[in-house]
A = this chain, B = another copy of it.
Amino acid sequence: MHRTKVKVVEEALDANNTIAAANRADFDRAGVTVINFMSAPGAGKTTLLERVVADLPGVRVGVLEGDVQGSMDADRLATLHIPVTQINTDAGFGGECHLDANMVRSAIPSLPLEDIDLLIVENVGNLVCPAEFRIGEDARVMVTAVTEGVDKPLKYPLMFRACELVVVNKIDLLPYVDVDLDHLLYNVDQVHPDVERMVLSAKTGEGVGAWRRWLTRIAAREQAVLAG
């Protein structure tokens, strides 16, 4: 019996990664650096953005807000006179607990890419699934608040491993909670040794200068790479 030889495709392309690469190409063409900004609910992502987005030297910032529903955070940031776009994951996308590359792709026509240098994508508050989906970003940043306890790196290791920067927020509350900052940072090291980290309070402003400098630096770095 004679059979034609069958070609076997061994690795199916992951649809999310395919779309993330397309997003990344669009962002690169526009010269826009993209940050995927993640945390548990209430860790202080929006307050951390309010602190800096209108005040990054030489960097024009835009924000893409991801929420299950509503636009409360987008409304807060829009008062700072920066461009803000909202994605709701409920109606069109089915109540998803994270952003994925296709949702971000759906938003690209609504983003003023020609008018910004840095796009910060504030993901849905969740320490699990957002870490599993690339969206076409240059870097991933996660925020953990000291009020969440010292054990979160060990309980949600993928999130802590997936990011290039860990921001420890709400250090103004350290005197009032049973949380040892050194123990928390030790647990970060257990799952992601040597990851860059900063310790700050979005409320008091302590340490926020380092956050502002990090964002400014990564936007400049990507500009340099794109300029070749």
State the A residues within 8 Å of B (CB): 40-42, 67-70, 72, 95-97, 124-129, 132, 145, 147-149, 151-152, 154-158, 170, 172-173, 176-178, 203
Contact = CB atoms under 8 A, between A and B. Distances in A.
Contact of A127 (B96, B126, B178): B126
A67 B173 CA distance: 26
Nearest to A176: B176
Given A41-B148, A42-B152, A69-B155, 18 more contacts: A40-B41, A41-B127, A41-B152, A41-B156, A42-B148, A68-B158, A70-B154, A95-B158, A96-B128, A97-B129, A124-B128, A125-B155, A125-B156, A126-B127, A147-B170, A173-B173, A173-B176, A173-B177
Copies in the complex: 2
5 contacts: A42-B148, A70-B154, A72-B155, A95-B132, A97-B126
A178 B203 contact: yes
A26 B154 CA distance: 33
A156 B95 CA distance: 10
Nearest to A157: B69
A48 to B, nearest CB: 13
Contacts of A40: 40-42, 125
B170 A70 contact: no
Contacts of A156: 41, 68, 125
